[in-house]
Structure 1
């Protein structure tokens, strides 16, 4: 390979890397916005229904069991 081919290859690799980084930034921004939206929807639903986010996603019995375990001062918990 001559010097021009090496330079062209480097430029192409660099351009691909920059495109990949930009796509990654866009995906991460989208994920962050969707997470924020999910939390806001969960809080609004909690305000309307009285059920916490853990209950909304089906982890209510686990949270209730943990809370009862610590409130009854049992020597062991599940």
Structure 2
């Protein structure tokens, strides 16, 4: 016959693992929805203002070739 305490520990460990997996699924679902919402808001703001998402968050100089080279953000400019 098996040891009842070892069997109980296995069930407890399995229950804890299942709870963590359920929490992880909920958190990842929320993160995915928040990311989709952020992209949609960024695209709508781009459509309204005309400035891209990189410009909206202050990284416009990195995507503008001349400005990026001029301010030496990119080390491979000639």
Number of residues of Structure 1 aligned to a counterpart in Structure 2: 71
1:62 positional shift = 1.2
Scaled by the length of structure 2, the TM-score of the pair is: 0.82
Q: 3-state SS of the aligned residue for 1:8?
A: helix
Unaligned segments of structure 1, at least 5 residues: 70-75
In the alignment, the residues of structure 2 paired with residue 50 and residue 28 of structure 1 have an alpha-carbon distance, to the nearest angstrom, of: 32
1:68 positional shift = 7.5
Alignment RMSD (CA, Å): 2.1
1:66 positional shift = 6.0
Provide the residue aligned with 1:15 in structure 2. Answer: 15
Provide the residue aligned with 1:4 in structure 2. Answer: 4
In the alignment, the residues of structure 2 paired with residue 68 and residue 32 of structure 1 have an alpha-carbon distance, to the nearest angstrom, of: 31
Provide the residue aligned with 1:26 in structure 2. Answer: 26
Runs of 4+ in 1 over 3 A off after TM superposition: 66-69
Q: 3-state SS of the aligned residue for 2:64?
A: helix
In the alignment, the residues of structure 1 paired with residue 66 and residue 14 of structure 2 have an alpha-carbon distance, to the nearest angstrom, of: 52
In the alignment, the residues of structure 1 paired with residue 8 and residue 27 of structure 2 have an alpha-carbon distance, to the nearest angstrom, of: 29
